[in-house]
């Protein structure tokens, strides 16, 4: 099912998905946020995210998706087959997987995306319990060299978010 995602093929992450994850990360400070990544018809393209509640007792340094949220999604025949990964935030801004991340990674899903409240994000491919960095996004969530076609629409996102948070938007 996840053969294409486990290959070395490019995985595209559109602007709207990055924006959703970034807003979720910022709204969850000082705790980590978590959610699911959904693929489209092309298995190598993330088309949506599903924010989940962090049920971890140590939510500032770890995440544990609320089991009720997961059960509801896993029972949905339209959503469950499209889950291809997990995202979560690191409020400290570090983008490397922590020991806690490595221990609880949803190994059934080959993609893991770590996002910082600043907007920086890294997409990892997980295979054989090893995390391999496959895509990076800068502080404006602008994709790097392997961006999808609409990455340039993100350029103004950081200032837009700052205005919104300051109540100016």
Tell me the average pLDDT across 145-159: 35
pLDDT digits (tens, 9 = 90+) for 41-68: 876 788 889 999 998 887 677 788 889 9
pLDDT tens by residue, 69-113:
999 999 998 899 999 999 999 998 889 888 888 777 666 788 999
Place of tokens 């404006």: 140
Domains of the chain: 3-165 (3.40.140.10)
What is the model's pLDDT at position 9? 59
CA angle 34, 85, 121 (to 5 degrees): 60
The whole-number pLDDT of residue 165 equals 43
Q: What is the mean pLDDT of residues 153-165?
A: 38
Q: In what order do the strands lie in the sheet with 34-39?
A: 46-52, 34-39, 83-89, 111-115, 121-127, 130-137
């Amino acid at each position: 099912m996840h053969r294409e995602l486990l290959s070395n093929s490019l995985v595209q992450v559109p602007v709207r998905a990055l924006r959703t994850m970034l807003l979720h990360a910022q709204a969850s400070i000082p705790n980590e946020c978590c959610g699911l990544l959904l693929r489209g018809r092309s298995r190598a393209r993330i088309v949506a995210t599903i924010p989940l509640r962090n049920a971890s007792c140590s939510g500032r340094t770890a995440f544990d998706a609320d089991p009720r949220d997961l059960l509801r999604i896993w029972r949905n025949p339209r959503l469950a087959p499209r889950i291809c990964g997990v995202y979560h935030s690191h409020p400290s801004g570090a983008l490397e997987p922590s020991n806690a991340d490595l221990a609880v990674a949803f190994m059934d899903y080959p993609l893991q995306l770590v996002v910082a409240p600043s907007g920086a994000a890294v997409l990892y491919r997980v295979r054989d319990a090893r995390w391999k960095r496959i895509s990076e996004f800068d502080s404006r969530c602008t994709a790097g060299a392997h961006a999808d076609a609409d990455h340039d629409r993100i350029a103004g996102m950081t200032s837009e978010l700052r205005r919104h948070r300051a109540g100016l938007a």
